[in-house]
Structure formats: C-alpha cells, structure tokens
C-alpha cells in the first residue's frame, strides 16, 4: 500500500492505495467521485476521461500513484460556482446530447479539453477528436451538435439538414 496525495477539483485529498490501483478506481471507490465511469477494460470507451494537470486523460490508463501531486479535475467539479451547468454541460442539455448518461461525463471532459485547445473546431475535427469516446445512445448527432453550439457556432443548419 502507498499513500497518495493529489488535488481533485481544487481540494487536496489523500488516501492509501495498492500500487496496482487505477486512478479511476481511486476516484470512484476511495473518493466517492462516481461520476467517472468505467465502461470497458481496454481504455477504448472514454467514459472515464478526466483532466490531469489540464490534459484529457482516461483515468483507467493511470495508476493512482502516478497522479501523486497532480491537479485532477473530474465531472463533479465542472459546474459553475453557483451550481449551474457550465457552457458545455448546458449545451449538452439544450441539444439533447445525452440519453442514458453513462458516457456523458467522459464526453463533457473530452469536449472541454478540445475547446480549450481549439475554441471553434469544425464538425470533422470534433468527430475525429471524439475517437476515444464511445456513445451507444445518441448516434453522436446531438453530441457533435452540442459541442459546436458550446463553441459558439451556429447549429441552426443542422436541425434543417
């Protein structure tokens, strides 16, 4: 067992973990941050995407001990300070970008990382970027639309497609 300390959503946290414990498991089981979801065991689905030191990371691809001292952001810390949905979250609701909600935290975290680097991505860029995030409900239509809208681009033409 090892002691691990990191900042998660702005708060310093620490815990005892086995060396083999994944960061995703630490977040869910030790910290109770169950918004980070586990949808596969091959790092394909992207339901566990979080930000580590500002970069999008699949939390199942890191050991908890590797995140020692890191600054971690999860879906639980994304809403505005007053609790309202942030721009991306709001766009997902406005454009029905989620159905069962299971892939949603990873989608929102990936979208946030994309828009940070590329504030006005094209449809093609968004689709390519989401290569590591699987959704089985939406056919991706409204997810891509929501991300376009969150970046301030008009989506009126899509509805009339």
> According to CB under 8 A, which one of 52, 114, 135, 149 is a site residue for another protein?
135
**Can residue 45 be called a binding residue for another protein (CB under 8 A)?**
yes
Q: What are phi and psi of 159, to 5 degrees?
A: -60, -30
Residue 61 C-beta: closest distance to another protein, Å: 14
Nearest residue to 73 via CA among 49, 98, 104, 42: 49
Query: Smaller CB distance to another protein: residue 11 or 41?
Result: 41
Give the nearer residue to another protein in terms of CB position, either 72 or 108: 108
With vertex at residue 126, the alpha carbon angle to CA 46 and CA 43, rounded to the nearest 5 degrees, is 15
Q: Is residue 126 a contact residue for another protein (CB under 8 A)?
A: yes
CA distance from start to end of the chain = 56
CA 27 to chain centre: 13
Hey, which bits of the chain come out as E strands? Answer: 2-8, 11-17, 49-52, 55-58, 71-73
Q: Which of these segments, 28-36, 51-59, 62-70, 114-122, binds another protein (CB under 8 A)?
A: 28-36
**Residue 45 in contact with residue 103, Cβ under 8 Å?**
yes
78 is an interface residue for another protein by CB under 8 A:
yes
* Binding window for another protein (CB under 8 A); candidates: 41-49, 51-59, 64-72, 112-120: 41-49
Residues near another protein, by CB under 8 A: 18, 20, 28-29, 33-42, 44-45, 47, 74-76, 78-79, 85, 89, 92-94, 96, 98-105, 108, 123-124, 126-128, 130-131, 133-145, 158, 161
């Amino acid at each position: 067992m090892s002691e691990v300390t990191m900042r998660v959503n702005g708060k310093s946290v620490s815990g005892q973990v086995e060396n083999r414990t994944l960061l995703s498991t630490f977040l869910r089981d030790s910290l109770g941050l169950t918004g980070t979801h586990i949808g596969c065991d091959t790092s394909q689905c992207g339901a566990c995407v979080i930000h580590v030191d500002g970069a999008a990371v699949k939390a199942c691809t890191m050991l908890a001990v590797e995140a020692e001292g890191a600054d971690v952001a999860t879906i639980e810390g994304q809403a505005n300070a007053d609790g309202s949905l942030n721009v991306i979250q709001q766009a997902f609701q406005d454009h029905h970008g989620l159905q069962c909600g299971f892939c949603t935290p990873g989608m929102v975290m990936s979208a946030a990382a994309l828009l940070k680097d590329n504030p006005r991505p094209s449809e093609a860029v968004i689709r390519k970027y989401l290569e590591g995030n699987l959704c089985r409900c939406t056919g991706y239509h409204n997810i891509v639309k929501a991300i376009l809208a969150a970046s301030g681009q008009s989506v009126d033409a899509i509805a009339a497609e």
